[in-house]
Amino acid sequence: MRFVRLAPLAAAFFIAFAQPGIAKQVDSGVPGMIFDHDVPVTMTDGLDLRVNIYRPEKPGHYPVLMLMGPYGKDTGMADAPAYKASWAKLIAKYPDLCKKSSCRYIRFEAPDPERWVANGYIVIHADVRGAGASPGVLDPFSPRETEDYATLITWAAQQPWSSGKVGLLGTSFQAISQYQVAALQPEGLAAILPWEGAYDQYREIGYYGGILNVAWEFWWTHQVVPNQNGNATTPFVDSINGGKDTGAPLSPELLKQNRVDPVGALAKHPFDDEYYHQRTPDGSRITVPLLDVANWTDWSTEGYRVAASKQKWLRIQTGDHLTPFYSEEALALQKRFFDHFLKGANNGWEKEPRVAVQVRRPDGTSWRNAGAWPLPDTQWERYYLDAASGSMAPTLEAASPAEKSYQGSGDGLTFTTAPFTNETEFTGPIGVRLWVGSSTADMDIFAALRLIDPQGRDVTFTGNSDPNVPLDLGYLRVSHRAVDPEKSAEYRPFHPHLTSEPMRPGQLYPAEIEFTEPTSIVVPKGYRLALTIQGKDFGYGPNAPIVHAKDYDLPDTKNSGLFFAAHPNRDPSLYGGMDTVATGREHASYLLLPSIASRR
């Protein structure tokens, strides 16, 4: 068992010593809302974390919505360099946003307290240990941080203004931590709503298919370290009092001692070892009501799949990472969920479809409801690859054996279907099985599933963090090719990632590619699907013919949709060799697609 619940006596001891100090009550400027700023709450080791409490002015017992993050509970999005672009996109998408709220308390990836307090909720936003006004060592997703969260939840449930029920709401970091703390089963936790958060710390955060995700360095350097407690040079501004909200200044040496660089830590743990086991929760212990909001381009249906909650719902959407969270539709969904589980409202939530997916097509999107995931009417279809012709189709199962090679550092190979003769929907997890070889002892596989229009242009979609992404992306370091059959399905291979098995140059090996997310697309008549296999991050070149799908109104750019950025950890002599894909008969390689029978 990866998490241990606090014994009742120990929990009572911790709560007894977790009473707040003197709150700094600030004039909120919002009628009917009390704002307690920088309230100290004592953790189990005696350290005080700082929280902001937004609550109704009218006395009573109210349910609590809580989040805990590293981005600054007092950092306004419009003021911080790291968030200005996100704020501009948000206001462009919802120009009336600040007519429904003062927007003074909106924080990056966090709910707007004003919109919730007015509906009878208390919102508590905490700075994680080592960030903002909370002192200590900054160590994202660590067991210590998760224990802090559990302490805060139970403290909030026992305050005189609380109804005793706590829900968790937030995106990304503040969604990932929800899964972690839910497995601790803290007293008072009544429901969670992780909005686009990863679950598996190795496969979804640290390593994609066994390949180190160095993109976290940008996140760490630009969004987290500037807000470290004690950082006197932070560009972040305290939107409440002005100045800095990072506590007493610390020396550069002490600041470095007080933080754990996640990319450095990940690089020291290339396999799925105890480091990740301590940070990936035990799904059998997640039993609270759960609404998992995922994205087709990143994060994550896995929490929904593994959680033991009997009352759980999945919603998969398209679009960017931030703006959908603040839409009126999203707010209404969030309130219906929490009204039901935190207030006991008889609002029909129990009849809400357990699964809702936003089906994509080049000219827009539509919603589909279902009772399970994958969708019950899924028919799995194998599109066999032919290295000789560069084509793929269900009819190529008996194609003659063929091989084709490519430079690992080059543009790789692309396999393309014939134009579809009928409109066809594929919605669900996908799989790719290849027979591969290399001139070196290892190779990295980056797979991209693409949609090609009748003019030969790539149809791109709005991604989690980029405006132009393909239908799906998959990864595998072939030395990590071992599969645990008991934990795998054909559409979801489970690689244990426990050891490295070098390749023998010139020998062929079966490789099942990890796709961290499912996909959804209605392929119109005359369009084609393409599968690109290469040894580097997939991206669209400056002269690539692309057309943006009408899923969101965004300017046309040539952004590639990369998540990994650069790969300084990859040795060119090892990962830049001549790589080979074999197809046909005993080396049948194929793309597995989730065809929706009701659309056939």
Amino acid identity of residue 198, one-letter, is: A
Distance CA 105, CA 240 (A): 9
Largest CA distance in the chain: 77
Partners of 66 in the beta sheet? Answer: 124, 168
Give which of 115, 108, 154 is closest to 131, Cα–Cα: 108
Q: pLDDT per residue over 214-242, tens digit each?
A: 888 889 999 999 999 999 999 988 888 88
HSE (CB half, 13 Å, CA atoms) of 324? 23
* Backbone angles phi and psi of 8, in degrees to 5: -55, -40
Res 571: pLDDT: 87
Alpha helices in 478-556 (DSSP H): none
Two structure tokens written together for 264: 């450095």
Distance CA 579, CA 576 (A): 8
Q: Check if the beta carbon of residue 387 is closer than 8 Å to that of residue 399.
A: no
Neighbours of 247 (CB within 10 A): 19
Q: Check if the beta carbon of residue 262 is closer than 8 Å to that of residue 220.
A: yes
Domains annotated for the chain, with CATH where assigned, are: 8-197+211-269+322-352 (3.40.50.1820), 378-599 (2.60.120.260)
pLDDT, tens digit only, all 600 positions of the chain: 333 333 333 333 333 333 334 457 888 899 999 999 999 999 999 999 999 999 999 999 999 999 999 999 999 888 788 888 889 989 999 999 999 999 999 999 999 999 999 999 999 999 999 999 999 999 999 999 999 999 999 999 999 999 999 999 999 999 999 999 999 999 999 999 999 999 999 999 999 999 998 888 889 999 999 999 999 999 988 888 888 889 999 999 999 999 999 989 999 999 999 999 999 999 999 999 999 999 998 888 999 999 999 999 999 999 888 899 999 999 999 999 999 999 999 999 999 999 999 999 999 999 999 999 999 999 999 999 999 999 999 999 989 999 999 999 899 999 999 999 999 999 999 999 999 999 999 999 999 999 999 999 999 998 877 888 999 999 999 999 999 999 999 999 999 999 999 999 999 999 999 998 999 999 999 999 999 999 988 888 778 898 988 765 444 444 444 445 455 668 889 999 999 999 999 999 999 999 998 655
Q: Give every CB contact of residue 272 below 8 A, 6+ residues apart in sequence.
A: 202, 203, 496, 497, 498
Alpha helices in 130-172 (DSSP H): 143-157
* Backbone angles phi and psi of 265, in degrees to 5: -65, -40
Distance CA 557, CA 462 (A): 11
CA dihedral 464, 467, 468, 472 (to 10 degrees): 10
Res 22: pLDDT: 45
Helix (H, G, I), strand (E, B) or coil at 277: helix
Distance CA 157, CA 166 (A): 6
Q: Measuring CA to CA, how many Å separate 580 from each of 66, 493, 507? A: 51, 21, 10
Q: pLDDT per residue over 563-600, tens digit each?
A: 454 556 688 899 999 999 999 999 999 999 999 986 55
Q: Measuring CA to CA, how many Å separate 127 from each of 67, 69, 528? A: 9, 6, 48
Residues, the chain: 600
Helix (H, G, I), strand (E, B) or coil at 411: coil
Q: Check if the beta carbon of residue 599 is closer than 8 Å to that of residue 438.
A: no
Distance CA 476, CA 309 (A): 31
Q: Check if the beta carbon of residue 75 is closer than 8 Å to that of residue 176.
A: no
Two structure tokens written together for 137: 């060592």
Two structure tokens written together for 511: 């490789």
Distance CA 596, CA 600 (A): 7
Q: Check if the beta carbon of residue 177 is closer than 8 Å to that of residue 198.
A: no
Q: Check if the beta carbon of residue 539 is closer than 8 Å to that of residue 460.
A: no
Distance CA 40, CA 149 (A): 14
Distance CA 58, CA 34 (A): 9
Distance CA 180, CA 192 (A): 11
* Backbone angles phi and psi of 565, in degrees to 5: 60, -125
CA dihedral 243, 246, 247, 253 (to 10 degrees): -120
Q: Check if the beta carbon of residue 299 is closer than 8 Å to that of residue 179.
A: no
Cα angle 501-503-508, degrees, rounded to a multiple of 5: 125
Distance CA 293, CA 197 (A): 8
Neighbours of 147 (CB within 10 A): 21
Q: Check if the beta carbon of residue 288 is closer than 8 Å to that of residue 189.
A: yes
CA dihedral 55, 238, 168, 139 (to 10 degrees): -140
